[in-house]
């Protein structure tokens, strides 16, 4: 209950923030999507969009009412964790992390010693990485089933194409790319206050505090400044798309993984100010370049009208209609459009649907899979949707289906659940990827 109340409190805070920014006069379907995560039904149906906007406003109103009602039954700590901690000086400043926000996989928490199998896999990774020229194909095969935390940073850098396979060239490449990034900072970052960049920077500045709000790591001022620099530099270097809401989420897995290089502590509460400045600069530059590599493959997701997402949502609808017609017809019966829930799945690569620990495990496989982010993700989304078949069929109206699909219960997921999801996605890819007519009517 406390987690639900905290989520509702967050919704109220965002509503108050919107009101403070005086954005209510312009509140239409597009603005409502920005807040709620629900896309407009149609840009050509004014009546439909008005009805949809009214529905969303009604849901927001219910959230406020429920939040107020629930608050009298909950302790201040459950609803206002930071405020309560400040008032109780005797408590250490290490807030309890809700399960949904824990980065370590809970399936292995409490068992710090590696199993024999885990130790054997780590040795295999180290052997592949130790050679003068890393065998990237072999590294991909090993990485598909997950990458040990100890070697994940170097493995991600290699699989993303950021680092060369040749060991001797890696250090010089890192130095050159890091210097190049901070050259961009010196050249461009001061322009954030110029008129033609103000809107971009303002939107980034608004979105950053909303990025993983339950994880203290991302609420540190220095971390938020790093994210602002990364996103602003990327946006002005990619004018075809610029900054689009959702891209801010894509920085977080890289940042967390590259923090792993410098600490063995739990990352959720890690104070980055304890790092040397050089280490923090390295984390920032590496996160920028690897995020850039990822976005290079899916940039049409973020150009005008986001055509990449439109195509992928349509492909998801066609695929689900073939692999589970009962689910597909059920959603049609209650007039649920795939764009209404799957837009976010494509825009944020399921990061809003899964805990961050699961996203990192998922991205191990995406990095190992050819066109993992641009192509394999479609099959992961299909497997993810069908995974909730029973829950979907139990819902008998539009509202129930939408609430379920936008709040799927993955809070306790870990490596085991993600591995099952990936195995099913691979099966679907094997069955349909090379025979697209199989899922076209």
pLDDT in tens, 412-434: 999 999 999 999 999 999 998 76
Q: Label residue 146 left, alpha or beta by phi (over 0 means left) and psi (-120 to 50 means alpha).
A: left
31-57 tens-digit pLDDT: 444 344 455 444 444 445 444 544 454
Write down the pLDDT at residue 44.
44
In Å, what is the CA distance from 68 to each residue of 64, 71, 72, 73? 6, 5, 7, 10
Checking if the pLDDT of 65 tops 50, the result is no
Average pLDDT of the segment spanning 73-88: 37
Where along the chain do its domains lie?
2-87, 160-296, 307-439
Q: Which CATH class is domain 307-439?
A: mainly alpha
Q: Which two tokens stand for residue 161?
A: 């194409």
Spell out the residues 6+ positions from residue 172 whose beta carbon is closer than 8 angstroms to its own.
none
308 confidence band (pLDDT: 50, 70, 90):
very high
Spell out the residues 6+ positions from residue 295 whose beta carbon is closer than 8 angstroms to its own.
234, 238, 247, 250, 302
Checking if the pLDDT of 225 tops 60, the result is yes
Write down the pLDDT at residue 11.
44
Q: Which CATH architecture has domain 160-296?
A: Orthogonal Bundle (1.10)
From CA 359, how far away is CA 351, in angstroms rounded?
A: 6
104 bridge partner residues: none
From CA 219, how far away is CA 203, in angstroms rounded?
A: 17
From CA 184, how far away is CA 200, in angstroms rounded?
A: 17
In Å, what is the CA distance from 268 to each residue of 151, 174, 215? 19, 26, 6
Q: Which two tokens stand for residue 433?
A: 């990827």
From CA 325, how far away is CA 322, in angstroms rounded?
A: 6
């Amino acid at each position: 209950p406390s987690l639900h109340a905290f989520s509702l409190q967050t919704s109220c805070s965002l509503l108050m923030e919107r009101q403070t920014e005086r954005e209510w006069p312009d509140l239409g379907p597009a603005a409502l999507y920005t807040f709620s995560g629900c896309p407009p039904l149609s840009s050509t149906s004014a009546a439909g969009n008005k009805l949809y906007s009214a529905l969303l406003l009604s849901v927001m109103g219910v959230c406020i009412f429920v939040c107020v009602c629930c608050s009298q039954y909950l302790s201040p700590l459950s609803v206002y964790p930071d405020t309560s901690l400040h008032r109780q000086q005797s408590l250490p400043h290490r807030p309890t992390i809700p399960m949904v926000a824990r980065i370590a996989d809970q399936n292995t928490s409490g068992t710090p010693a590696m199993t024999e199998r885990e130790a054997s896999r780590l040795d295999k990774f180290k052997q592949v990485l130790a050679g003068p020229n890393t065998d990237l194909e072999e590294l991909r095969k090993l990485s598909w089933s997950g990458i040990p935390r100890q070697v994940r940073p170097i493995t991600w850098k290699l699989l993303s194409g950021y680092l060369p396979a040749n060991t001797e060239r890696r250090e010089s490449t890192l130095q050159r790319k890091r210097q190049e990034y901070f050259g961009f900072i010196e050249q461009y970052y001061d322009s954030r206050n110029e008129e033609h960049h103000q809107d971009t920077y303002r939107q980034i500045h608004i979105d950053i505090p909303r990025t993983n709000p339950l994880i203290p790591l991302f609420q540190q001022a220095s971390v938020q400044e790093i994210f602002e620099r990364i996103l602003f530099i990327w946006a002005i270097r990619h004018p075809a798309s610029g900054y689009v809401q959702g891209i801010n989420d894509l920085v977080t897995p890289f940042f967390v993984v590259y923090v792993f290089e410098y600490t063995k502590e739990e990352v959720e509460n890690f104070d980055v100010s304890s790092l040397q400045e050089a280490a923090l600069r390295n984390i920032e530059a590496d996160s920028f370049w690897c995020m850039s590599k990822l976005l290079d493959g899916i940039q049409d997701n973020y150009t005008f009208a986001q055509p990449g997402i439109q195509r992928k949502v349509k492909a998801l609808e066609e695929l689900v209609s073939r692999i589970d017609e009962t689910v597909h017809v059920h959603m049609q019966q209650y007039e649920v459009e795939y764009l209404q829930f799957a837009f976010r799945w494509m825009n944020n690569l399921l990061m809003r649907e899964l805990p961050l620990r699961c996203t990192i495990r998922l991205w191990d496989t995406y990095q190992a899979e050819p066109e993992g982010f641009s192509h394999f993700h479609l099959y992961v989304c299909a497997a993810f949707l069908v995974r909730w078949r029973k829950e979907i069929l139990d819902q008998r109206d539009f509202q129930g289906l939408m609430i379920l699909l936008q709040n799927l219960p993955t809070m306790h997921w870990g490596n085991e659940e993600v591995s099952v999801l990936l195995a099913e996605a691979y099966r679907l890819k094997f069955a349909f990827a090379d025979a697209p007519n199989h899922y076209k009517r």
